[in-house]
Structure 1
Amino acid sequence: RLVRQDVRPHQSGPKAALSRIGRVRPVTLADDEPWRAPFDVIAAPIRPTIKPGGTKIDPDIQGGANQKGNQSTASGAKDTDKSVESAAQDSRIDTRIVEFFYATNRKQSDTPPDVEGHPQPAFTSDGPPVYSLNGWTAVSGYTGERNPDLSVGIVRLRVPEGHHIGNIELPSSLKLFGFRLRRDTLDPTKHFTIRSIEKTDEAKWIKTLASTKKKKALVFVHGFNTKFRDAVFRAAQITWDLQFRGTTILFSWPSRGDIADYLYDKESALASRTAFLRVIDDLYKAGYDNIDVIAHSMGNLIAVEALSNSAATRSPTAIAQLIMVAPDVDRDMFVQDISGVAKVTKGLTLYASKNDKALQLSKRIAGGIPRAGDVPDAGPVVLPGLWTIDVSLIGDELFGLNHNTFATTRNVLNDLAILLMEGKPPPRLVEIRGFPEPPQKAAYFRYIP
């Protein structure tokens, strides 16, 4: 975890180090104005709802650290049970915290982090100052520039009480000709709020991954036009909405987060294939035996090509489910590569849409060549071993930050949840039906609201 606090006497080892987390304030992220702490500092440590190990903590069953000072008892299970019961009743304990691991080949922002405890910078002769916090390094975030190395760590974020499934609630703002005229105040009860971003070395990261109990992982690879901050929000939203009980890992590649930088992002994606496979390899080193990947938009250029190339090697990288959401990949290239990907996956799912704005833009830039996630008049990509689902009626931006059809998104998230939990083929919901309809044999599936 990020900060160790008041570990109970009977706990020791890596699991104990992961069992308590202190409070931190939101940090400054790349390309954004400094965050202001939107909540009052309280005495009790905040308890996570979903730990990196994936276990959901019920507020009526488990509690946080001892709530009165730093005193702890060693009188056995009875005292422990009393402290747990007391913590469960403490209204100051926050149950809406999501934590997940991250790996990125972006450059780190040089903005000093603003975290609770105000760690003092340790200046070094060969680089920028380092802000140390309980054995981990507090960082402000990451830019859209490329880094030849991989940075790893943990993100901690709060989901607001008024959250709607499929949405990312953020402060609204009004801009005119590039000038911000108005911005709502950040409110943690109404908006997603980043509490901390802390990095560590890869060896400690793998050790922390290995200390989790359930060895089931979900790797999320974001798409084009996505800043690190936005990728963090989306990973948290997916983890929370799916109530995923394994370990979530965000793989964030160097996208500049601007539509004008499409070609830069595409080259960054192609250059990120090795880093992606390195993350999967780290999960295997940590003992994970079930690894699923959700790749969105241009993130599929990374996942599909990396796994296809790996399948041709002597030691291929294998995963369980590869879930491709509106893949921004050349259709012909996708058809050519998917046979190799099928050799190293247990299941392949394609969510395609004819209304995705990003794919329409990509198609124009590519000279009118359809993308793998598009649904032209002739229909979506249909291949042996590939579960294709046409979700055009969901809306105009699947998994995008400006998604407006939250009610219908719930059904897709339900479909994803069943796929991740059970690995069942479609149709998994009554809203998803085979096409063409019986008595003909279904070639693919359609979402029908």
Structure 2
Amino acid sequence: MAKRSVALFLLLLLASCGHPGGVMTPVSASLSSSSITPTSTVDMLVATTREPSGNPATLFNGERSSKPHLTQISISIPAKREAGTVQWPKRLPPDPATDFAVTRVQQIDTVAQGRVWFRQHVHGGHALVFIHGFNNTYEDSVFRLAQLVHDSKMQATPVLFTWPSRAEITAYQYDKESTNYSRTALEQALRTLAADPDVKDITVMAHSMGTWLAMESLRQMGIRDGHVISKIHNVILASPDIDIQVFAKQYVEMGEPRPKFTIFVSQDDKALAVSSFITGRVSRLGAINPAEEPYRSKLENAGITAIDLTKVKTHDRLNHGKFAESPEIVQLIGQRLMTGQTLTDSKVTLGQGITAVVGGTVSTIGTVAATAAAAPVAIIEQPVTRKKPPRAANETLDGDLKQQTLTQ
């Protein structure tokens, strides 16, 4: 009963986190309360399996559409704000001088139009595809990606994939089924993006329940082709709300060669604690301690980088959005992971004095564990998995799982 009460309390806490809605109607930057206040603009392409709302203030609701939709959106970001935060307007229309504000919305009807947009906004051929998590409205995901892109200063073209979430704390199962509903659409979006000659490489970044959608789409792609599309170089899973055993199978079944995987975990993630309770007290991937066995060895064998954010402090009461709200982590994403750099230095210095301790082998992993208490960020960089010889005809998938699974 005590655990049930804690879970219910956390659900109520989640439900209490709100902000004004209906902010998608474009405003002019000239409406700013101060004409001399500088602002920045983030342009993004948004693909969605949500149903159109028929209201320009929301654009799309949380119900499921029979076909995907594509929209280009521009968001103005005020200069005076704390990094890692989204400045929601206190009243409508938003003031670009103080608030995040949508300045342009245009529906895209064909793939050709989407390619023209990408060609006009290309940054070195790098594309970032972001998939949001549970309990998100359309505008939640748009503003979050805009914040990530702006604060990280990443040189990549942002593409948002937003799936049908009812943005209700009691709709966990509906949201989970909506990710399943959307996995083919995400796979097709990734294939379309990869087919564009202006795209050199793709990073897939997913948060919370969106990591399930990302893994399912990549697994589905791997089953079709034998491997994930080669242009998908990196996959970043932040606070992954995935059963550890299921993740192991998804990872194996997407085939080889695989993209480079990085996971952000935190043992104090209250949202994942609730998810674990809802799913029958099954451990979630985003809550593991990567410095402990069996995870340490399993991550090493699989060539997965685990970044432990447990000691990182943000304003997030649930400790579920640290990857986006910590300025240092956002910088790490933009300056290293998004540019294909590996975390192989003995020490990686981030802004404001945060030191990331890096270990590369089992012999040095003890150093990571020992110094994690003093370092806000502990990073375990694992070697890339060597290509294995062809599987014998009588060899089963279980053989791979024994080497790569992350089960307890």
Structure-2 residue corresponding to 1:202: 110
Give the 3 Å change call, closer, same or farther, for CA 420–250 of structure 1 in structure 2: same
Aligned counterpart in structure 2 of residue 310 of structure 1, from 204, 213, 221: 221
- Partner Cα distance (1:404, 1:280) in 2: 26
What displacement does 1:161 show? 1.6
Residue of 256, 269, 286 corresponding to 1:356: 269
Find the counterpart in structure 2 of residue 429 from structure 1: 348
| Equivalent residue for 2:101, pick from 180, 184, 193 | 193
| Match in the other structure for 1:291 | 202
User: Residues 36 and 326 of structure 1: is their aligned pair in 2 closer, same or farther, counting only changes over 3 Å?
Assistant: closer
* Structure 1 position 34, deviation (Å): 6.7
Distance in 1 (alpha carbons) for counterparts of 2:294 and 2:52: 42
Question: What secondary structure sits across from 1:373 in the alignment?
Answer: helix
Matched, 1:216 2:126: yes
Is the counterpart of residue 158 in structure 1 residue 147 in structure 2?
Answer: no
* Matching of residue 247 in structure 1 with residue 165 in structure 2: no
Pick one of 19, 24, 46 that aligns with 1:102.
46
Select the structure of larger CA radius of gyration.
1
TM-score using structure 1 length: 0.66
Candidates 199, 219, 243, aligned match of 1:330: 243
Q: Give the C-alpha shift of residue 341 in structure 1.
A: 4.1
* Residue pair 1:281, 1:317 contacting (<8 A) in 2 also: no
How many Å apart are 1:437 and its aligned residue? 11
Note closer, same or farther for the CA distance 1:94–1:279 as it changes in structure 2 (3 Å cut).
farther
2:65 maps to 147
Is this contact kept in 2: 1:168–1:401, CA < 8 A?
A: no
Deviates more, 1:212-221 or 1:385-394: 212-221
Residues 325-347 of structure 1: per-residue CA shift (max 9 Å, x gap): 01001111012222234725331
CA distance in structure 2 between the partners assigned to 1:302 and 1:264 by the alignment: 13
Distance 1:320 1:342, change over 3 A: farther
What is the CA distance between 1:36 and its match in structure 2? 8.2
Contact 1:395 1:405 (8 Å CA) reproduced: no
Is 2:323 the counterpart of 1:414?
no
For 1:364, the aligned partner's letter is F
Q: Secondary structure at the match of 1:345?
A: coil
Unaligned runs of 5+ in 2: 1-19, 350-354, 377-408
- CA RMSD between the two structures: 3.5
Gaps in structure 1 of 5+ consecutive residues: 1-30, 43-90, 115-139, 173-182
Q: 1:371 to 1:438 in 2, by over 3 A?
A: closer
Deviations 1:17-73 (A, max 9, x none): xxxxxxxxxxxxxx935778876748xxxxxxxxxxxxxxxxxxxxxxxxxxxxxxx
Q: Is the 8 A contact 2:239 2:320 kept in 1?
A: no
Other-structure match for 1:15: none
TM-superposed CA distance for 1:263, in Å, is 0.5
**C-alpha distance after superposition, 1:180-209 (max 9, x if no partner):** xxx698432222112232211132213332
Residue 305 and residue 191 in structure 1: after superposition, are their counterparts in 2 closer, same or farther (change >3 A)? Answer: same
Superposed CA offset, 1:282-329 (max 9, x none): 112222120001110011111112112221223644211000101001
The CA deviation string for residues 110-159 of structure 1, in whole angstroms up to 9 with x for no partner, is 11x37xxxxxxxxxxxxxxxxxxxxxxxxx51101111211012111111
Cα gap change, 1:404/1:248 in structure 2, threshold over 3 Å: closer, same or farther?
closer
In structure 1, give the amino acid aligned to 2:21.
D
Instruction: Give yes or no for contact 1:356–1:398 (8 Å, CA) kept in 2.
Output: no
Distance across 1 between alignment mates of 2:193 and 2:212: 21
Contact 1:329 1:371 in 2 (8 A): yes
- Does structure 2 conserve the Cα–Cα contact (< 8 Å) formed by 1:277 and 1:317? no
Higher helix share: 2
Residue in 2 aligned with 1:226?
Answer: 136
Mapped contact 2:227–2:255 kept (Cα < 8 A): no
TM-score, normalised to structure 2, is 0.72
CA distance in 1: counterparts of 2:181 and 2:103, whole angstroms: 30
Would the aligned equivalents of 1:168 and 1:237 in 2 still touch at CA under 8 Å? Answer: yes
Q: Name the CA distance, whole Å, in 1 between partners of 2:316 and 2:359.
A: 21
Shift of 1:211: 4.8
Query: In the TM superposition, what is the alpha-carbon distance from 1:165 to its structure 2 partner?
Result: 1.5
Alpha-carbon displacement from aligned partner over 1:46-101 (angstroms, at most 9, x marks no partner): xxxxxxxxxxxxxxxxxxxxxxxxxxxxxxxxxxxxxxxxxxxxx77965111111
Question: Number of aligned pairs?
Answer: 335
Q: 1:105 touches 1:254 (CA, 8 Å); kept in 2? A: yes
Partner of 2:21: 32
